[in-house]
């Protein structure tokens, strides 16, 4: 498998930047060996999964509004299968964290993340969620969500434009398309 | 004002009265309640509107500033100041029996400064966890993160409040239960899509009828006021955008005006015009989002998409002007950062008839829908007295018959020169609030219409010094955002940073009245009422 063979609807392969992470990921998978039959089955399943990623919105502040703008008319991310935003963690495939995380909220995000069913992904949106952003020096702000839960995609900006969020979500689709759950011999 | 001064001196003989920007009265901590009560009961001009309650660390002592005003004429302002006698155990009498809005404000002062209020029935910390070490807004606060580490362990919520009551002239510390022992309690929030942010309502139910709501906040408390104390004035500006992000530009306008007033900076007229046009566009976009979110809360997902669609047109204008969509970084001290682009007037003029067309469409397909009406008319009623006592301003306050538009009563910038109607309804239910917003969009369009062709040529920003230092003093500024009255308080000690900066959040008043107006309503209507109030949580938590 090569990265350039991973096709994402609506964006050409050359338009993606920062591919090192995914290339390393492919090497890792190939090093452990892929079963031909199950590998193909994986591709079929991943095709379905990557085009119907249902997000759980964890919107705490400003970025949540840009998330809504991405979901609504004009940008409309349902074109890529993100249509069904879930409010229950048990029905969601991925969590989009939009906004600052503070001390009082830290136990709750961990709990919501734990309640999600595997396989699960986390997209963080905005400078606050990535690192604390403009509030990093505050007494009550957690400096980055990755100190609490693992993160798959970082979307920078304050707040990121809907286009940035869509790009981040497509990067996640690529990651999902590469995964091998059945075909990977080590599993 | 002479009458007020006489009344104050008749009530408290040793009150110190200073004629500053606003009449300032300093009294000792045990006399404050008496003075506030007298001013409130004053028949001629009742001071029944507590605009801002600000706890301040004055260095030697801890004190509280009360900015009070009258509901009959909200341009009349008096500041009451008092200091707690003891810094180790600061105590001040509560004013919650006079002003309902003081409940949450006093709890905030307790959480951030450690000032305890005697006779306040609920003295739990607002914003912070109950086991927080230290009081952040005190100048001697220890910011060492080891004292307050990030914990990911979920904690049990304890519904018992400490309080300090005066019984027969003696102070007694005791505890009280928030709920009754056999109450059935559910948590709405903190992460719930219809709470419009991360608010936590602990709700006691009787069947599907709401018995009592206990508001928990602080899930997005970023400590903006403390952060501001270490930043220069131009550096603070961007924080206001992240309070009520739907009124980002208007909030920032308020802070800029406060600094300009204190530093005596003259803003060029062109900048004033640009500011007001941007403010009104922002107000329309905020009301559109409020409308969209409310219809979504009532189950009309299509309407939500419609509202967001119209909003995109405004965001496009913002985007072309300054590159930002939601947070536009337009206002700076002395004027605006970016001039308008060449086709700005053309774009705005194209938007006005488009929006009018869409308002008719909204009216046709939602405002008279039988299901929608059933969920709005007569739901979430608040009377004018309650509105004033809870200091609920903005479209929600005006839906209960209270004329509280700062743009009308204390015209700032160029609002004195434009003609617009203050939208007032007297029903006080969800439907009145809903209609008020749609009518205010029309009024905003009317304001823009008057200004758009008359933008004068000239500078867009006054020349300011590289480092802006404000003279010693206390400065207040009130401004009308889409949600209600936003206030800025700056205490300056002549430095380039503020000694104390406080924002009055309109949303806090909107949330504080929720327990009252949701009582005895159905649980499902709680969501609709919340939508009609249109609060933004990061504005409350700051």
Q: Residue B354 has what pLDDT? A: 92
Task: Give the gap in angstroms from C-alpha B533 to the nearest C-alpha of chain A.
Answer: 17
Residue B428 near residue B383 (C-beta atoms within 8 A): yes
Q: Residue B283 has what pLDDT? A: 92
Per CB-CB distance under 8 Å, the chain B contacts of A131 are none
Task: Give the gap in angstroms from C-alpha A160 to the nearest C-alpha of chain B.
Answer: 10
| B127 and B265 belong to one structural domain | no
In this predicted model, what pLDDT tens digit does every residue of B56-99 receive, in sequence order? 988 888 889 998 888 888 888 888 888 888 888 888 888 888 88
In this predicted model, what pLDDT tens digit does every residue of B4-44 receive, in sequence order? 777 777 777 777 778 777 888 888 888 888 888 888 888 78
Which of these three, B150, B180, B215, is where a domain ends? B150
* pLDDT lower than 50: segments of chain B: none
Residue B249 near residue B328 (C-beta atoms within 8 A): yes
| B129 and B239 belong to one structural domain | no
Pairing of strands B77-83, B23-26: parallel
**Residue A100 pLDDT more than 80?**
yes
| CA B119 from centre of chain | 25
**Residue A5 pLDDT more than 80?**
no
What average pLDDT does chain A have? Answer: 83
| B370 and B458 belong to one structural domain | yes
Left, alpha or beta for B279 (phi > 0: left; psi -120 to 50: alpha)? alpha
| B530 and B400 belong to one structural domain | yes
Tokens of B408: 């009308």
| B251 and B342 belong to one structural domain | yes
Q: Which band of pLDDT confidence, cut at 50, 70 and 90, is reported for residue A183?
A: low
- The answer as to whether B357 is a domain residue is yes
CA–CA distance, A182 with B14 (Å, rounded to integer): 83
The torsion angle over the Cα atoms of residues B332, B336, B341 and B343, rounded to 10 degrees, is 120
- The answer as to whether B34 is a domain residue is yes
Nearest Cα neighbor of B112 from B83, B84, B134 is B134
Q: Residue B40 has what pLDDT? A: 85
| B288 and B142 belong to one structural domain | no
- The answer as to whether B191 is a domain residue is no
Q: Which band of pLDDT confidence, cut at 50, 70 and 90, is reported for residue A187?
A: very low
Q: Please tell me whether the peptide bond between A119 and the residue prior to it is cis, using omega within 30 degrees of 0.
A: yes
If one counts every other C-beta atom within 10 angstroms of the C-beta of residue A70, the result is 24
Note down the domain range covering B10: 2-150
**Residue A30 pLDDT more than 80?**
no
- The answer as to whether B195 is a domain residue is no
In degrees rounded to 5, what are phi and psi of residue B369? -65, 130
Whichever domain contains B413, its CATH number is 1.10.645.10
DSSP for A56-117, please give it: EEEE-STHHHHHHHHHSTTT-GGGGT----BSSGGG-SEEEEES--BGGGHHHHHHHHHHSP
Rounded to two decimals, the ipTM of the complex is 0.84
| B142 and B233 belong to one structural domain | no
Which of these three, B119, B150, B181, is where a domain ends? B150
Tokens of B435: 């209609």
3-state secondary structure B3-18: HHHHHHHHHCCCCEEE
Q: Among B126, B220, B285, pick the best mutation site for testing chain A contact (most A Cβ within 10 A).
A: B220
Contact flag A148-B152 (C-beta cutoff 8 Å)? yes
Q: Residue B156 has what pLDDT? A: 82
- The answer as to whether B214 is a domain residue is no
**Residue A186 pLDDT more than 90?**
no
CA–CA distance, B317 with B103 (Å, rounded to integer): 41
3-state secondary structure B181-214: CCCEEEEECCCEHHHCECCEEEEEEECCEEEEEE
Which of these three, B150, B171, B202, is where a domain ends? B150
Q: How many helices (H) and strands (E) does chain B have?
A: 18, 17
Per CB-CB distance under 8 Å, the chain B contacts of A90 are none
Residue B130 near residue B149 (C-beta atoms within 8 A): no
If one counts every other C-beta atom within 10 angstroms of the C-beta of residue B541, the result is 30
- The answer as to whether B500 is a domain residue is yes
Contact flag A108-B154 (C-beta cutoff 8 Å)? yes
| B318 and B404 belong to one structural domain | yes
Chain B residue nearest residue A139, CA to CA: B143
Nearest Cα neighbor of A87 from B195, B300, B524 is B195
Among A35-44, A97-106, B301-310, name the one with the lowest average pLDDT: A35-44
- Paired with B203 in beta bridges are B186, B213
Chain A residue nearest residue B134, CA to CA: A139
Nearest Cα neighbor of B252 from B125, B130, B337 is B337
Domains of chain A with bracketed CATH? 54-174 (3.40.50.12280)
Terminal alpha carbon distance of chain A: 18
Contact flag B148-A139 (C-beta cutoff 8 Å)? yes
Tally of structural domains, chain B: 2
Nearest Cα neighbor of B82 from B66, B67, B71, B97 is B66
| B234 and B116 belong to one structural domain | no
- The answer as to whether B344 is a domain residue is yes
Task: Give the gap in angstroms from C-alpha A35 to the nearest C-alpha of chain B.
Answer: 40
**DSSP-based three-state secondary structure for A143:** coil
Contact flag A60-B220 (C-beta cutoff 8 Å)? yes
| B120 and B257 belong to one structural domain | no
Of residues B143, B190, B226, nearest to A105 (C-beta): B190
Whichever domain contains B14, its CATH number is 3.30.460.80
CA–CA distance, B194 with B138 (Å, rounded to integer): 35
| B299 and B390 belong to one structural domain | yes
In this predicted model, what pLDDT tens digit does every residue of B134-185 receive, in sequence order? 888 888 888 888 888 888 888 888 888 888 888 887 888 888 888 888 889 9
If one counts every other C-beta atom within 10 angstroms of the C-beta of residue B124, the result is 18
In degrees rounded to 5, what are phi and psi of residue A64? -60, -35
**DSSP-based three-state secondary structure for B65:** strand
- The verdict on A46 touching B (C-beta cutoff 8 Å) is no
Contact flag A87-B246 (C-beta cutoff 8 Å)? no
CA–CA distance, B306 with B471 (Å, rounded to integer): 49
Nearest Cα neighbor of B281 from B241, B247, B245, B309 is B247
- The answer as to whether B36 is a domain residue is yes
- The verdict on A168 touching B (C-beta cutoff 8 Å) is no
Instruction: Give the burial class of B86: count Cβ atoms within 10 A of its Cβ; 0-12 exposed, 13-18 middle, 19 or more buried.
Output: exposed
Q: Any residues with CB less than 8 A from the CB of B386 and at least 6 apart, and which?
A: B100, B392, B400, B513, B516, B517
Structure pTM? 0.88
| B141 and B228 belong to one structural domain | no
DSSP for B287-314, please give it: HHHHHHHHHHHTT-HHHHHHHHHHHHHH
């Amino acid at each position: 498998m090569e990265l350039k063979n991973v096709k994402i609807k609506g964006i050409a392969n050359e338009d993606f930047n920062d591919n090192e992470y995914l290339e390393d990921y492919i090497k890792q998978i190939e090093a452990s060996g892929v079963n031909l039959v199950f590998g193909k089955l994986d591709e079929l399943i991943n095709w379905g999964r990557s085009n119907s990623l249902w997000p759980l919105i964890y919107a705490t502040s400003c970025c949540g509004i840009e998330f809504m703008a991405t979901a609504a008319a004009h940008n409309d991310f349902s074109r890529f299968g993100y249509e069904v935003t879930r409010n229950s963690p048990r029905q969601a495939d991925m969590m989009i964290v939009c906004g600052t995380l503070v001390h009082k909220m830290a136990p709750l995000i961990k709990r919501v993340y734990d309640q999600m069913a595997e396989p699960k992904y986390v997209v963080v949106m905005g400078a606050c969620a990535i690192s604390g952003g403009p509030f990093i020096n505050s007494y009550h702000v957690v400096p980055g969500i990755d100190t609490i839960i693992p993160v798959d995609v970082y979307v920078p900006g304050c707040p990121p434009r809907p286009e940035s969020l869509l790009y981040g979500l497509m990067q996640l689709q690529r990651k999902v398309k590469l995964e091998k759950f059945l075909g990977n011999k080590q599993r | 004002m002479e009458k007020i001064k006489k009344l104050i001196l008749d009530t408290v003989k040793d009150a110190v009265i200073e004629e500053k920007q606003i009449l300032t009265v300093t009294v000792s901590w045990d006399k404050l309640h008496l003075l506030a009560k007298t001013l409130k009961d004053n028949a001629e001009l009742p001071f029944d509107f507590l605009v801002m309650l600000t706890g301040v660390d004055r260095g030697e002592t801890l004190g509280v500033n009360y900015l009070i005003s009258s509901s009959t004429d909200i341009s009349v302002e008096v500041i009451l100041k008092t200091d707690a006698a003891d810094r180790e155990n600061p105590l001040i009498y509560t004013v919650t029996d006079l002003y309902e809005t003081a409940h949450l404000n006093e709890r905030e002062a307790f959480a951030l400064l450690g000032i305890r209020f005697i006779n306040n029935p609920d003295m739990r910390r607002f914003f912070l966890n109950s086991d927080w070490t230290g009081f952040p807004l005190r100048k001697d606060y220890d910011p060492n993160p080891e004292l307050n580490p990030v914990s990911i362990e979920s904690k049990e919520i304890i519904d018992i409040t400490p309080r300090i009551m005066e019984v027969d002239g003696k102070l007694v510390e005791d505890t009280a239960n928030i709920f009754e022992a056999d109450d059935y309690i559910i948590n709405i929030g903190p992460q719930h899509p219809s709470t419009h942010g991360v608010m936590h309502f602990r709700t006691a139910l009787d069947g599907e009828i709401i018995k009592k709501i206990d508001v928990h906040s602080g899930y997005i408390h970023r400590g903006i006021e403390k952060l501001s104390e270490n930043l220069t004035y131009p550096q603070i500006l961007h924080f206001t955008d992240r309070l009520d992000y739907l009124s980002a530009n208007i909030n920032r306008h308020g802070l800029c005006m406060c600094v300009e007033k204190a530093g005596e900076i003259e803003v060029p007229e062109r900048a004033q015009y640009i500011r007001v046009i941007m403010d009104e566009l922002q107000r329309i976009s905020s009301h559109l989002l409020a409308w969209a979110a409310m219809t979504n809360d009532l189950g009309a997902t299509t309407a939500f998409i419609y509202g967001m669609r119209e909003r995109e047109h405004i965001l496009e204008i913002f985007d072309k002007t300054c590159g930002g969509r939601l947070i536009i970084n337009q206002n700076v001290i002395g004027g605006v950062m970016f001039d308008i682009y060449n086709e700005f007037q053309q774009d705005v003029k194209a938007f006005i008839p488009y929006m009018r067309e869409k308002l008719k469409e909204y009216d046709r397909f939602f405002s008279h829908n039988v299901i929608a009406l059933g969920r709005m008319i007569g739901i979430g009623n608040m009377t004018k007295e309650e509105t004033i006592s809870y200091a609920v301003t903005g479209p929600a306050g005006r839906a209960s018959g209270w004329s509280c538009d700062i743009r009308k009563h204390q015209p700032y910038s160029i609002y004195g020169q434009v003609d617009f109607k203050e939208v007032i309804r007297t029903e006080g239910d969800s439907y009145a609030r809903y209609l008020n917003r749609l009518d205010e969009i029309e009024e905003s369009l009317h304001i823009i219409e008057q200004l758009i062709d008359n933008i004068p040529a000239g500078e867009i920003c006054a020349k300011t010094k590289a480092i802006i230092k404000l003279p010693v003093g206390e400065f207040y500024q009130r401004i009308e955002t889409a949600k209600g009255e936003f206030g800025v308080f700056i205490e300056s000690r002549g430095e380039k940073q503020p000694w104390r900066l406080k924002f009055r959040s309109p949303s806090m008043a909107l949330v504080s009245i929720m327990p009252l107006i949701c009582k005895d309503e159905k649980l499902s209507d709680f969501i609709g009422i919340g939508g009609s109030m249109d609060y933004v949580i990061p504005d409350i938590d700051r």
